[in-house]
Structure 1
């Protein structure tokens, strides 16, 4: 069995982010996730660069000391729990942050790459998006894991998905694609993924046991004016995986609400 978690952390932007980071860390320790995909992993533009020898992607922006993913990994290490960590930079967020996506894995990454999914590559344009791919091992099986934060349908999701899809064509290893897709269930964007030649299924729809549903409540950043709860955070897995359980977490019910998104975890074999 393997356990995955995805969460758009909204890092450093909510109330008491240091407390939220510890809540996330304690959840990771408790659940012992194999791989974790995180989005909106921020660092201040003018904060010091880290001297820690964490795994960096080639030709990527320098990791800073206050990188939210780095601080999370350091917190876990202080608790005696070790995760391998990699981060890629997307664009400037809220005028002051380098914003990106991250992957954490219990096992080493044997290969990583950053795929530019957007049509532009300009850190000053929030449409600039990259997916982070990490090859690692779960339950003795080698897989590709992906952390992604896509644009809305109207802002180019179709083309962004096609670029990620093309980068994965020909891959023979199973896939686990996680993240904030900004395209709810029963929309063209979600349908595009379900019908992808990559052979993917939505862990929520495939799971034998499902707990929870929506991952955002109405009006949040990027969904201004939205009047309904939506499921926009997903874990898509290759067809050969059997999904035992899919659960929404950090929804303010079973665990504290630590972001403007809820998290999603799934158990597969």
Structure 2
């Protein structure tokens, strides 16, 4: 099973169209089963469209715009004769001109659900977080995959958002993959909170037999304006009996060009019966 997570920064990036193509090329070359994306934007003023049958809506009613970054990515893959099902959750307005949210792509259909992680539930409040969960088939097993974007520990918000995540997943009966931007590095109480969770999560980074790279942020970015070091804040967490063959930081300028203010994470793993 091959999975990928990336905070795309989408249309906020310079040369965003070119970078979308780089992401599509990596997905095509990597033959990923599931992709989790964060900061997936669409322009508020863009035309609303009716997506085709590859779109898997959540229980929420949201408009899909013609420049939705996940939609455009799926369309780029279709040009290469590669089909992915996809879903998108809308959290809040970003930078006064975008609808911002999370996305999931899967080779198989997705039963998609969004859940409110934050106390705020107002699209005008940039701290509103609605994470996206999808039940999908991967390598012959049903897996619950969550694309998440959490707040920072020192803002006092992460603990609540993580509590809501545990509550949402407490009755999950399938293996769980939680992928995304946690905004908590390995030294933070937030990271330890995840490892101590009753969900029984493990960090794919620490399980991997072969590891390439570690940090997913290496400069000052929004939310980390004072950062001057190397941070690992984007993760792949898994439940169950897991063998992780490979863990690679991607889109970091080494094997694959940089496409965002975050690097991505690729993991190759095997889920076995508990």
Partner of 1:223: 224
Deviation at 1:78, TM superposition (A): 1.0
Q: Distance in 1 between matches of 2:98 and 2:171?
A: 35
Contact 1:8–1:263 under 8 Å retained in 2: yes
Count of equivalent residues: 267
Partner of 1:38: 37
Partner of 2:136: 136
Q: Distance in 1 between matches of 2:188 and 2:61?
A: 33
Helix, strand or coil at the partner of 2:241: coil
Alignment deviations for residues 42-69 of structure 1 (CA, whole Å, 9 cap, x no partner): 0011111112232222323211110000
Helix, strand or coil at the partner of 2:165: helix
CA RMSD of aligned residues (A): 0.9
Deviation at 1:108, TM superposition (A): 1.0
Partner of 1:77: 78
Q: Distance in 1 between matches of 2:115 and 2:76?
A: 28
Contact 2:146–2:179 under 8 Å retained in 1: yes
Partner of 1:149: 149
Helix, strand or coil at the partner of 1:241: strand
Partner of 2:259: 258
Q: Distance in 2 between matches of 1:10 and 1:266?
A: 21
Q: Distance in 2 between matches of 1:58 and 1:135?
A: 13
Contact 1:60–1:88 under 8 Å retained in 2: no
Partner of 1:115: 115
- 1:1-20 maps to which residues of 2 (within 5 A)? 2-20=1-19
Alignment deviations for residues 205-259 of structure 1 (CA, whole Å, 9 cap, x no partner): 1111111010001201111011211000000011312111111000011110000
- Give ranges in structure 2 of 5+ residues lacking alignment: none
Helix, strand or coil at the partner of 1:166: helix
TM-score for both structures, normalised by structure 2:
0.96
Helix, strand or coil at the partner of 2:194: helix
- Give ranges in structure 1 of 5+ residues lacking alignment: none
Point out 4+ residue stretches in structure 1 off by more than 6 angstroms: none
